[in-house]
A and B are shown apart, each in its own frame.
Chain A
């Protein structure tokens, strides 16, 4: 397979991405391994939990995850993991911007620490506030089409519905809901969370997702760099298949060499 197979670029809030694979930076066994996996995945957007970084403006050798991210190569998308409500998420987004990070934010507001499912009410509230303040807001949401619409109404730059809970590796449990979100979308749709295999990522792209975000499946793989690379292939393959168009689906067999060909 030609891993450089061109797919059309993705544009979010005026910024162009040639890779449609976004990668998270949690759960890696070390910063060097993370750095290599990001490079191998070809990603151009990586998300970082601000709670793990030093936001004081001072370098901290014990909270230095940002130093391993080449900002020439990647858009570093701060995320608000750890926030339990809109107030906390807004505060941490402002602090990140003040510390010199891009004025982009992936909103992650999950009050439940077990399944890390996003709070729709608080996410909507925070999106509204941060958009007004000039942030490019990418909210992580459950695959709820009406919520996705409401977030687009208040200016979300993407919507990021989950395939299944974070870290579950269960794939597209919410596939049919995501299809509705995609059908109705006015902004790019990024399938985030639960993608455990390259085939899950490819499936998301085939149904028309604009990008996928993968973290656990790469981070805890025995060889994260290699897993990053194969996710890149899967995302490109899935996107290209989507661009080429899905063949019609039928319950009956349709012979590739019709029996009546001799009559033509």
Chain B
């Protein structure tokens, strides 16, 4: 079977975007009646302006499908930033190497201390995030961290720069559950314009990272596009194609999809493309109708009122009380869970700053159970 980058080269994304924009009631009605998108064409119809007029119906379908498969539960996790050192120049990212921010790579003990603070807040699932730098790989740094964290954090996921299959294997052996790689944008010319220097320039290499990670044994694969870089319909359609491909080719992996939108960051990137709130909701619901079993992740990039509204509409996983600065949690007041200093080394500034307990209570108030632990170390080691 071909890799996604091979398939992508012949994927008619632009034509599907046009089809989406031109969608009429006649194309849309059967999809809405069925409450399922069976093809990318159906999916494009659900992203259409015409479908936007039926957002309530989309939400009803999405909620029902999500409840059926995941029940009334929301899994909680926190990101933990290991390092903001990075060799890439990416115009929109706070960690871009040309941004004058304080740089740090946390020593292993410091990472453990950060994780302990998160564990006290309730987290049993963590996403380790790092910029792209040769110093993190091939020297046992990440493996050490995973092994030290597992006793307090049974679920550890990684969001690091793409690697070959072999260098991923030690992370899996150490007990890491999953890997997250966002394509950022699936529009190659825009991708090349935004990533001006560094290994991240390799568009297709990045695209196949989830498949290499699967070959190495990761059981959870996270993908996503960063909305605000290019036309949202284009990126959502390509993302959906990617997810469908991974579902077939990586059949043992749980596919999770994030829908991050741009946030202010160091470097002051000026957005030209925007995804409105209603469009975000429409995309989330359309993805659910195409991928009933995928996990959908909602981060603290989104404002509180929107996150509250999305809890019951198709999301399965949420972060809470996040810091995007390496070592950021150590500066949080443990009781109020608010930063006691400016997070000058952060990747971007979050929007929903409420502490984890407040998020958990908010989820419970909506009749959903906040699930802190949904994985056990014994499954992997």
Residues of A within 8 A of B (CB): 26-31, 50-56, 60-63, 82-84, 88, 91-92, 95, 111-115, 167-169, 216, 219-220
Contacts and interface: CB of A to CB of B under 8 A. Distances in A.
Contacts of A113: 252-255, 293
Q: Which 8 A-B residue pairs are closest in the complex by CB-CB distance? A: A27-B71, A29-B72, A63-B373, A62-B372, A114-B293, A113-B254, A62-B122, A51-B376
A116 B375 CA distance: 16
A254 B73 CA distance: 52
Contacts of A88: 378-380
Contacts of A26: 71, 73
A220 B375 contact: no
Given A27-B72, A28-B72, A88-B379, A52 B373 contact: yes
B68 A220 contact: yes
Nearest to B295: A113
Interface string B321-338: 000000000000000000
B367 interface: yes
Contacts of B154: 51
A97 to B, nearest CB: 12
Given A29-B367, A63-B372, A84-B252, A50 B71 contact: no
Interface string B186-206: 000000000000000000000
A92 B247 contact: no
Interface in B342-376: 364, 367-369, 371-376
Contacts of B375: 51, 82
Interface string B51-67: 00000000000000001
A63 B71 contact: no
Contacts of A54: 373
B8 interface: no
A50 B376 CA distance: 8
B124 interface: yes
B33 interface: no
B251 interface: yes
Contacts of B123: 62
Given A51-B374, A54-B373, A83 B68 contact: no
B251 A112 contact: yes
With a 10 A CB-CB cut-off, give which of B73, B368, B369 has the most chain A CB atoms.
B369
Contacts of A84: 219, 252, 379
B369 A169 contact: no
A92 B376 contact: yes
B272 interface: no
A160 B373 CA distance: 27
B369 A29 contact: yes
Contacts, number: 91
Contacts of A168: 68
12 contacts: A29-B367, A29-B369, A52-B371, A52-B374, A60-B124, A62-B122, A88-B379, A112-B251, A114-B293, A167-B68, A168-B68, A220-B68
A203 B21 CA distance: 48
Contact of B252 (A53, A111, A216): A111
B269 interface: no
B378 A91 contact: yes
Interface of B: 67-73, 122-124, 151, 154, 219, 247, 251-255, 293, 364, 367-369, 371-376, 378-380
A167 B72 contact: no
Contacts of B73: 26-29
Contacts of A111: 251-252
A28 B369 contact: yes
Contacts of B252: 84, 111-113
A56 B71 CA distance: 26
A83 B219 CA distance: 11
A53 B154 CA distance: 11
Contact of B364 (A30, A83, A112): A30
Contact of B373 (A51, A83, A95): A51
A63 B369 CA distance: 12
Q: Which of A28, A62, A83 lies at the interface centre, i.e. has the most chain B CB atoms within 10 A of its CB?
A: A62
Contacts of A115: 293
Contact of B376 (A82, A216, A219): A82
A114 B247 contact: yes
Contacts of A27: 70-73
B68 A55 contact: no
Given A28-B72, A91-B379, A167-B68, 17 more contacts: A27-B73, A29-B72, A29-B73, A30-B364, A52-B373, A52-B374, A55-B378, A62-B122, A84-B252, A92-B378, A95-B376, A111-B251, A111-B252, A113-B293, A114-B293, A115-B293, A167-B69
Contacts of B364: 30
A78 to B, nearest CB: 11
Nearest to A110: B252
A92 B381 CA distance: 10
Nearest to A51: B376
Contacts of B378: 50, 55, 88, 91-92, 95
Residue in A31, A61, A91, A114 whose Cβ sees the most chain B Cβ within 10 Å: A114
A54 to B, nearest CB: 7
B260 to A, nearest CB: 23
B140 to A, nearest CB: 25
A51 B273 CA distance: 41
Given A95-B378, A111-B252, A216 B373 contact: no
